[in-house]
Amino acid sequence: MAASSTSTPTDDGRLLEWQTLTGPRVAALDRTRTVVAVTCSPLEVHGPHLPTLADVGEAEGLFTRAFSHLLERHPELVIVRLPPVYAAADVLPHVGSLRFSPKVVTAVLEELGTTLARQGFRNVWVGNFHAGPRHVLAIERACERVSRRHDARMISVFSLLARRIAPSGDLAERLGGLGGPTRADLVGDQHAGLVETSLLLRLHRALVDPAFTHLPAASLERELEAAGARPLQRGRVMTFLEMLRALPLQARYYARLTYAGTPGRASPELGELYLDVLGRETADALSDVWTGRASLEDARSPLWPLRHVLLREGLGRVFDRIVLRRRSPI
């Protein structure tokens, strides 16, 4: 359930790849100085132009950039990366996406965190670049259980960043104005749009279909505006009633289209700008975690209070039948 990592160790040997280490080398690691990092993001359809590894590639790229800053700031720190895990919930219901239940996502990460804790590794950072509500909560639930049961500090890095830089779930708050596109340009740019296409052009350019330049702008927000409907109210903490309204609208949109935003305006130069900003923000956040300035509660998204409802078993099947009005092809 893992893909190979493409990152390389630092020259001073403080960024290591778990799968390249021998047993004695792992055993010799100083647990008080070591963090284990793993990406948990889907293989999922991202428009007609991006590879299914988009979220994995972005999360791994973000980790790599953040770690380069973090290791400079903290000479005592050692980071060991695990190969990414692609079990993920709430993926787009199109052939090419690999779908797992939130229960499975939690189980995989909970067992991973448990085996690491039993070996003495109590600092575990879980990366992600997929904003599916139940996927985010499944990661947070696993982190909470491992941290509580094993006296560990296992955190969801995505959730930590969501609270710090994009509490509404919209990166337009932080990236608007960089390199030309304004905040208004990025409203609704949530999946395989300008931001993600730019990041993939920077990180995995050879895998991006050049036809992306001809894709028209499209988003749920644009459709609501054209229909004269009330726009989505995101805010810092979306109310439960607003979420009940937004989820079916988004689900039906993505059942028809596989991207949202303006991918045709993307460029590798914008991707570098976005990667630099997000990498520095991630490094700042993780520095706070490492030094104890940020608590485990700081790594819980605004969705956390809704976990008992959204993670209820059977919700996905009911959602497909009632909201999508069709059986999911995956």
Going from N- to C-terminal start, the domains of the chain cover 15-324
- Give CA–CA dist 66/64, Å, rounded: 6
Predicted local confidence at residue 217, as pLDDT? 96
pLDDT digits (tens, 9 = 90+) for 287-301: 999 999 999 999 999
Predicted local confidence at residue 5, as pLDDT? 40
Predicted local confidence at residue 319, as pLDDT? 65
- Looking at residues 251-271, what average pLDDT do you find? 96
Task: Check whether 2 has a pLDDT greater than 60.
Answer: no
- Looking at residues 233-245, what average pLDDT do you find? 65
- Looking at residues 209-233, what average pLDDT do you find? 94
Rg of the chain over CA atoms, in angstroms? 19
- Give CA–CA dist 151/157, Å, rounded: 18
Predicted local confidence at residue 101, as pLDDT? 94
Lowest mean pLDDT among 16-25, 111-120, 174-183: 174-183
Predicted local confidence at residue 170, as pLDDT? 65
Predicted local confidence at residue 241, as pLDDT? 73
Lowest mean pLDDT among 19-28, 170-179, 233-242: 233-242
Predicted local confidence at residue 284, as pLDDT? 97
- Looking at residues 41-56, what average pLDDT do you find? 98
Predicted local confidence at residue 1, as pLDDT? 52
pLDDT digits (tens, 9 = 90+) for 179-188: 999 988 998 9
CATH code linked to domain 15-324:
3.40.50.10310
Task: Check whether 323 has a pLDDT greater than 70.
Answer: no
Handedness of CA 161, 163, 165, 167 (dihedral sign): positive
- Looking at residues 106-117, what average pLDDT do you find? 98
Predicted local confidence at residue 234, as pLDDT? 62
**Residue with token string 């940020």:** 294
- Looking at residues 138-147, what average pLDDT do you find? 98
Lowest mean pLDDT among 39-53, 81-95, 185-199, 223-237: 223-237
pLDDT band at 165 (very low <50, low <70, confident <90, very high): confident
Predicted local confidence at residue 320, as pLDDT? 64
- Give CA–CA dist 330/321, Å, rounded: 14
50 φψ region: left (φ > 0), alpha (ψ -120 to 50), beta (else): beta
- Looking at residues 208-232, what average pLDDT do you find? 95
* Inter-residue contact 60 to 54 (CB < 8 Å): no
User: HEC profile for the chain?
Assistant: CECCCCCCCCCCCCEEEHHHCCHHHHHHCCCCCEEEEEEECCCCCECCCECCCHHHHHHHHHHHHHHHHHHHHCCCCEEEECCCECCCCCCCCCECECCCCHHHHHHHHHHHHHHHHHCCCCEEEEECCCCCHHHHHHHHHHHHHHHHHHCCEEEEHHHHHHHHCCCCCCCHHHHCCCCCCCHHHHCCCCECCHHHHHHHHHHCHHHCCHHHHHCCCECHHHHHHHCCCCCCCCCCCCCHHHHHHHHHHHHHHHHHCCCEECHHHCCHHHHHHHHHHHHHHHHHHHHHHHHCCCCHHHHCCCCHHHHHHHCCCCHHHHHHHHHHCCCCCC
Question: At 140, which amino acid appears?
Answer: E
pLDDT digits (tens, 9 = 90+) for 62-105: 999 999 999 999 999 999 999 999 999 999 999 999 999 999 99
- Looking at residues 274-291, what average pLDDT do you find? 97
Predicted local confidence at residue 171, as pLDDT? 75
- Give CA–CA dist 239/231, Å, rounded: 14
Q: 223-229 long-range CB contacts below 8 Å, 24 or more apart?
A: 223/253, 224/249
Predicted local confidence at residue 205, as pLDDT? 98
Mode of pairing for the β-strands spanning 78-81 and 34-39:
parallel
Pick from 112, 191, 189, 178: nearest CA to 150: 112
**Which pair of tokens denotes residue 197?**
């296409």
Task: Check whether 43 has a pLDDT greater than 50.
Answer: yes
pLDDT band at 324 (very low <50, low <70, confident <90, very high): low
Burial of residue 264 (number of CB atoms within 10 Å: 0-12, 13-18, 19+): middle
How high is the mean pLDDT of the chain? 91
Spatial CB neighbours of 168, under 8 Å, sequence gap ≥ 6: 234, 235, 236, 238
